[in-house]
């Protein structure tokens, strides 16, 4: 993660920087409030600001609000100065960290600020098939739409696509469209020029420019105001953006990945989402199933979270009891992976003895359990189709849908899919022989 430290931190700046780096952070230093604002205006991807409580925290946070800069701020100061700590929190700082810095506390703040740990942990055949398809389309330049319920891990899948793309060594920039107020989202995406509005005291680079040559994740895009959708559509089509108050367009080369937990087809019908933007984003659609529909992931993820939170809380690693595993597998996980993570964090803290038992598993909705399967249905589930067959079907649908999107243009479709034209033609010949409808060639 990218961390900005503002001020001297009473001589503790070196220690704080070292701890942040050891926790996986990349540190930028700024002496004053004004120099910190210059860093943030430049488009550098800062996720967390640690500011010396001796500085004017109120002025800093007021400037962020006035200039529509959205970033998490924590204040730092000597532990015996409660007055300044209270003042900083009232000014809008999210947390107060006493000095000298404590590694565990800074680690916890960094983790909370970034929802760290982007590793993709899985054990289910469905997830494996999705990842295979995601890896296949990752090298293309096509926009990707990830759909699925809240908490299924769409952002982690989007990072997987970026990490396997030709842009992997460039920036991955995420914008949560649901978390940023409508009045701020436009400036967050496109930036602005000095004097564009009251409080715009200097030029600010937006996320589109920041992610140029890399990947921009538009998380929960269905929450975006329809007025901003028109500007987003132009940015994608023309590969250029207009800063607020700008006199000339700015060229960008940004790949878009979007996520939604809502049905965008319905949003289009209801008039809350533009149809033309939907088509632009939905070149490739990957749907992430709910956790209850990929049971092979449940225990694997649970053990991953046990390890993560045991280490974070400096507790001994414990195994899951057979009874606890059964309880996890029978639950429907309405909150998906996010709920499972919270449940296992709680279980790590509550469990006693040498293993995590069912008593330590506190479920949010105990009534959300699976109905027992009839014996025949259970046999069918055990004898589910293999991964190869599932992937082949998904691959066929992806190729044919992409070809429909390109109106039969084989060359364009091959470029989007990241495969050679020869491979594409061989696949299409195979599908025709198997009796599937293939769009006519239109080069």
Task: Give which of 24, 29, 50 is closest to 39, Cα–Cα.
Answer: 29
Domain membership of residue 365 (yes or no) is yes
Q: What is the mean pLDDT of residues 79-103?
A: 79
Spell out a b/e string for 163-192, using b for 16 or more CB atoms within 10 Å of the CB, else e: bbbebeebbbbbbbbeebeeeebbbbbbbb
Confidence at residue 23, expressed as pLDDT on a 0 to 100 scale: 63
Instruction: Give yes or no: residues 186 and 82 share one domain.
Output: no
The 10s digit of each residue's pLDDT in 112-152 is: 555 444 568 889 999 999 999 999 999 999 999 999 999 99
Instruction: Give yes or no: residues 131 and 272 share one domain.
Output: yes
Contact 260, 200 (CB under 8 A): no
Q: How far is CA 416 from the centre of its chain?
A: 23
Instruction: Give yes or no: residues 266 and 348 share one domain.
Output: no
Instruction: Give yes or no: residues 257 and 397 share one domain.
Output: no
Domain membership of residue 119 (yes or no) is no
The 10s digit of each residue's pLDDT in 241-260 is: 999 999 899 999 999 999 99
Task: Give which of 58, 50, 60 is closest to 19, Cα–Cα.
Answer: 50
Domain membership of residue 411 (yes or no) is yes
Question: Which structural domain, as residue segments, surrounds residue 438?
Answer: 374-443
Listed residues 114, 138, 166: the one ending a domain? 114
Indicate which CATH number applies to the domain containing 102.
3.40.50.2300
Q: What is the mean pLDDT of residues 12-32?
A: 77
Instruction: Give yes or no: residues 208 and 88 share one domain.
Output: no
Domain membership of residue 253 (yes or no) is yes
Strand partners, 8: none
Domain membership of residue 239 (yes or no) is yes
Contact 244, 190 (CB under 8 A): yes
Arithmetic mean of pLDDT over the chain: 85
Beta strand 240-241 with 250-251 is: antiparallel
Torsion of CA 291, 292, 294, 299, to 10 degrees: 80
Query: Domain tally for the chain?
Result: 4
Across 264-400, the runs of DSSP E, i.e. the strands, are 284-287, 319-320, 355-356
Instruction: Give yes or no: residues 179 and 280 share one domain.
Output: yes
Q: What is the mean pLDDT of residues 171-200?
A: 87
Q: Is 395 helix (H, G, I), strand (E, B) or coil?
A: helix
Instruction: Give yes or no: residues 277 and 401 share one domain.
Output: no
Confidence at residue 387, expressed as pLDDT on a 0 to 100 scale: 42
Domain membership of residue 92 (yes or no) is yes
Residues 6 or more apart whose CB falls under 8 angstroms from that of 228 comprise 182, 185, 186, 189
Instruction: Give yes or no: residues 234 and 329 share one domain.
Output: no
Task: Give percent above pLDDT 70 in the chain.
Answer: 89
Indicate which CATH number applies to the domain containing 280.
3.40.50.300
Across 299-434, the runs of DSSP E, i.e. the strands, are 319-320, 355-356
Instruction: Give yes or no: residues 104 and 141 share one domain.
Output: no
Q: What is the mean pLDDT of residues 19-38?
A: 82
For residue 100, cis peptide bond before it (omega within 30 degrees of 0): yes
Indicate which CATH number applies to the domain containing 402.
1.10.10.60
Kindly report whether the global pTM for this prediction surpasses the value 0.75: no
Instruction: Give yes or no: residues 157 and 262 share one domain.
Output: yes
Listed residues 370, 387, 416: the one ending a domain? 370
Confidence at residue 46, expressed as pLDDT on a 0 to 100 scale: 82
Instruction: Give yes or no: residues 235 and 313 share one domain.
Output: no
Listed residues 344, 370, 396: the one ending a domain? 370
């Amino acid at each position: 993660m990218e961390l900005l430290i503002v001020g001297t931190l009473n001589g503790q700046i070196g220690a704080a920087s070292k701890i942040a780096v050891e926790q996986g952070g990349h540190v930028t230093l700024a002496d004053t409030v004004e120099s910190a604002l210059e860093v943030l205006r430049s488009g550098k991807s800062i996720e967390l600001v640690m500011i010396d409580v001796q500085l004017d925290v109120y002025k800093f946070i007021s400037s962020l609000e006035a200039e529509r800069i959205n970033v998490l701020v924590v204040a730092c100061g000597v532990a015996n100065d409660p007055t300044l700590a209270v003042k900083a929190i009232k000014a809008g700082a999210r947390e107060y960290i006493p000095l000298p810095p404590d590694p565990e506390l800074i680690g916890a703040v960094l983790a909370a600020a970034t929802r760290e740990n982007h590793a993709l942990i899985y054990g289910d055949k469905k997830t494996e098939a999705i990842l295979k398809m995601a890896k296949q389309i990752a090298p293309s330049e096509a926009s990707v739409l990830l759909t699925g319920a809240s908490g299924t891990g769409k952002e982690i899948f989007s990072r997987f696509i970026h990490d396997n793309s030709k842009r992997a060594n460039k920036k991955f920039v995420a914008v949560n469209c649901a978390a940023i107020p409508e009045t701020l989202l436009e400036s967050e995406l496109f930036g602005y020029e000095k004097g564009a509005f009251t409080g715009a005291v200097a030029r600010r680079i937006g996320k589109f420019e920041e992610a140029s040559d890399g990947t921009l994740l538009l998380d929960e895009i269905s929450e975006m105001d329809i007025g901003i959708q028109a500007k987003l559509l132009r940015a994608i089509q023309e590969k250029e953006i207009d800063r607020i108050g700008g006199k000339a367009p700015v060229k960008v080369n940004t790949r878009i990945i979007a996520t939604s937990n809502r049905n965008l087809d319905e949003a289009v019908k209801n008039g809350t989402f533009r149809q033309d933007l939907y088509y632009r984003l939905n070149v490739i659609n990957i749907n992430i199933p709910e956790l209850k529909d990929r049971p092979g992931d449940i225990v694997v993820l649970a053990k991953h979270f046990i390890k993560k939170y045991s280490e974070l809380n400096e507790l001994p690693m414990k195994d899951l009891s057979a009874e606890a595993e059964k309880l996890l597998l029978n639950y429907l996980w309405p909150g998906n992976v996010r709920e499972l993570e919270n449940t296992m964090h709680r279980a790590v803290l509550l469990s006693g003895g040498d293993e995590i038992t069912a008593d330590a598993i506190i479920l949010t909705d105990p009534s959300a359990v699976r109905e027992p399967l009839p014996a025949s249905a259970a046999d069918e589930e055990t004898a589910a189709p293999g991964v190869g067959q599932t992937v082949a079907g998904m691959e066929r649908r992806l190729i044919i849908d992409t070809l429909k999107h390109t109106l039969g243009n084989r060359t364009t479709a091959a470029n989007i899919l990241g495969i050679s034209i020869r491979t594409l033609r061989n696949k299409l010949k195979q599908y025709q022989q198997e009796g599937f409808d293939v769009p006519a060639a239109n080069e």
